[in-house]
Structure 1
Amino acid sequence: MNQNKIPDFTETELWAVRNTLKERYGKEIEPQRADSEVMLGGADGVAWCPALFWSAKGANFAIVKPGAKRFRANFYYHPEYQLGTGIDSYDEIGDCVISVLQVESDHLRKQKIKTDQQPAKDSDDSPDKPDLSPNFWGD
């Protein structure tokens, strides 16, 4: 296991996340701090990394910090089905947060299109149905 201490999120990084979430959702969302065991690969092996977690509109999000200026993001609706941005890591947390929010928004939009193309069911008012609006800033 990697013994190198990965620095926690800075106040500037936390500010960037909080402000991006407020802009996206129109309200304060406080990300929860956590630690996540992450495979870093190569000689680095496995390490405990600082992480931020939040839930909004039926989705759960995580930003992991595997290095001083490295960030990884993913989101999920169910823990067994996690999605990422397609980018291994970001060097700016703002880019990471915006990217994961956009990918999640695009995913919802694609799911909505698939649902809209299927024959109507008896009841479309299921309480388990995710809130699909707004998709993203200005969409």
Structure 2
Amino acid sequence: MSESAFDAGERRAVEAAMIYRYGQLVPLTEADVELRLVPGTEERTSCPALYWNERGVQFVVCRTGPKRYRSYFFYTDDEQFRIGEHDYDGIEDCVRNLLQLQTDHERIRKGIFSGATAKDLGGDDEYFPPPILL
């Protein structure tokens, strides 16, 4: 990859979210991923992506078109999650929702393994839909 597929503003948006979440920058790696852009088809399209790994979780933010983004997080090959059913038209919303959903998912995972209830975890009555398992 000779030229960055993400402009400086897009990278800054991702870096700002990392600083807010982790208190520091995390190394970003540019990659190419193959995605199904059209639901119900098997056709895959190569898309540029930003990848990082932090605290045992891997994250991918993909550009699916001009100012169109899709994101995923995963722990293992068997635990992969897509953020929402539709692509985002802003990288800021895409990354913010990616990090928030992963945080919520991590709280749920820890609660399940610890025997804690939603009340113990400080849950509220707001509903957060489940992630889409790939």
TM-score by length of 2: 0.76
Whether 1:70 and 2:71 are equivalent positions in the alignment is no
Question: Identity, % of aligned pairs?
Answer: 34
The CA RMSD measured in Å over matched residues stands at 1.9
Give the Cα separation in 2 of the matches to 1:14 and 1:56. 17
CA displacement, residues 39-91 of structure 1 (integer Å, 9 cap, x when unaligned): 22279x43211101001111000011010111000100002220122232100
- Residue 82 of structure 1 aligns with which residue? 80
Quick one: higher RCO (CA 8 Å, sep 6+), 1 or 2? Answer: 1
Q: 2:89 aligns with which of 88, 91, 97?
A: 91
TM-score with structure 1 setting the length? 0.73
Which residue among 53, 57, 60 is the counterpart of 2:58?
Answer: 60
- The answer as to whether partners of 1:50 and 1:65 remain within 8 angstroms in 2 is yes
| Residue number in structure 1 paired with 2:108 | 110
Runs of 4+ in 1 over 3 A off after TM superposition: none
Which stretches in structure 1 are left out of the alignment for 5+ residues? 1-6, 119-139
Pairs aligned (count):
111
Identify unmatched segments of 5+ residues in structure 2.
117-134
Greater C-alpha radius of gyration: 1
Q: Does the 8 Å contact 1:18/1:30 carry over to 2?
A: no
